[in-house]
């Protein structure tokens, strides 16, 4: 599929420029686009119009699932599946189950947060056409980039490039897949 446009890439020189450019891209109604900066730019998520992340909900559900499973497993093993008297305590000694319940709750929350974040970001990716651009390497150094994917309903090839140029980009290019 060589030759099909994949993404429009615009390069900016400062954090201030990309911040305002993001506001314009957001207001133009694009949905499949991203900003790439060498360091976190405060407030960029608002300039991009990104809503709240769904990761906390995943973490919450995972945390309660983990804590619940851990408690249930201990309660079931000790009081039903394999009841043993330990330290003269009753079979169903909820106090003894709390540390493991807490730890497994934390473990599930951490794993849910990590895996949820990766899944929502569609990571890991083995290939992304952005890396065809030699200039894009500087997004980890001293340059700021906006990329608009070709499958965005508002993407119009050369027209989009001109739009990005108009936002003050120091360089724009169309990357093919």
Partner 1 sequence: MSSHPATLPADARLHIEAGHSWAKLPIVAFVVGVAGIAGTFALGMGNTKQLYHSWLVALLYFLSLALGSLFFVLIQFLAKAGWSVVVRRIAENLAAPVPIFALLFVPILMGMHDLYHWTHADAVAHDELLQGKSSFLNNGFFIVRAVVYFAVWSFLATWYRRQSVAQDQTGDHAYTRRMTMASAPGVAAFALSITFAAFDWAMSLDPHWYSTMWGVWYFSGAILSAFALITVFTLRLQGAGLLRGVVNGEHYHDLGKLVFAFTVFWAYISFSQYFLIWYANIPEETSYFAHRMGNSWESVGILLMVGHFAVPFLFMMPRTIKRNPATLFLGACWVLLMHYVDIYYAVMPNLHHEGVRFAATDALAFLGVGGVYLGLALMMMRKGALVPVKDPRLPESLAFQNV
Q: Which of 40, 51, 124, 153 binds partner 1 (CB under 8 A)?
A: 40
The reply on whether position 126 binds partner 1 by CB under 8 A is no
The reply on whether position 16 binds partner 1 by CB under 8 A is yes
Q: Which of 55, 73, 96, 130 binds partner 1 (CB under 8 A)?
A: 96
H helix or E strand, kind and range, residue 113? helix 94-120
Give the nearer residue to partner 1 in terms of CB position, either 19 or 71: 19
**Quick check: helix, strand or coil at residue 145?**
strand
For residue 93, the minimal CB distance to partner 1 (Å) is 9
The reply on whether position 144 binds partner 1 by CB under 8 A is no
H helix or E strand, kind and range, residue 146? strand 144-149
Cβ pair 18, 42 in contact under 8 A: no
For residue 42, the minimal CB distance to partner 1 (Å) is 5
Cβ pair 30, 167 in contact under 8 A: no
The reply on whether position 52 binds partner 1 by CB under 8 A is yes
Cβ pair 87, 45 in contact under 8 A: no
For residue 43, the minimal CB distance to partner 1 (Å) is 6
Buried residues in 29-52 as b, exposed as e (16+ CB within 10 A): ebeebebbbeeebeebeebbeeee
For residue 56, the minimal CB distance to partner 1 (Å) is 8
User: What residues make contact with partner 1 under the rule CB under 8 A?
Assistant: 15-16, 19, 40-43, 46, 52, 56, 60, 87-88, 95-96, 98-99
């Amino acid at each position: 599929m060589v030759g099909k446009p994949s993404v429009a890439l615009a390069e900016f020189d400062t954090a201030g420029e990309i911040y305002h450019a993001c506001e314009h891209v957001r207001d133009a109604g694009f949905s499949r686009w991203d900003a790439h900066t060498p360091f976190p730019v405060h407030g960029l998520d608002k300039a991009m119009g990104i809503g709240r992340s769904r990761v906390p909900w995943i973490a919450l559900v995972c945390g309660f699932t983990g804590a619940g499973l851990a408690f249930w497993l201990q309660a079931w093993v000790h009081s039903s599946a394999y009841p043993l008297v330990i330290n003269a305590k009753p079979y169903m000694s909820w106090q003894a189950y709390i540390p493991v319940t807490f730890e497994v709750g934390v473990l599930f929350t951490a794993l849910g947060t990590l895996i949820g974040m990766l899944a929502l970001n569609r990571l890991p990716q083995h290939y992304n056409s952005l890396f065809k651009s030699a200039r894009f390497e500087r997004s980890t150094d001293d340059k700021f980039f906006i990329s608009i994917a070709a499958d965005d309903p508002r993407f119009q090839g050369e027209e989009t490039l001109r739009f990005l140029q108009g936002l003050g980009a120091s360089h724009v290019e169309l990357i093919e897949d």
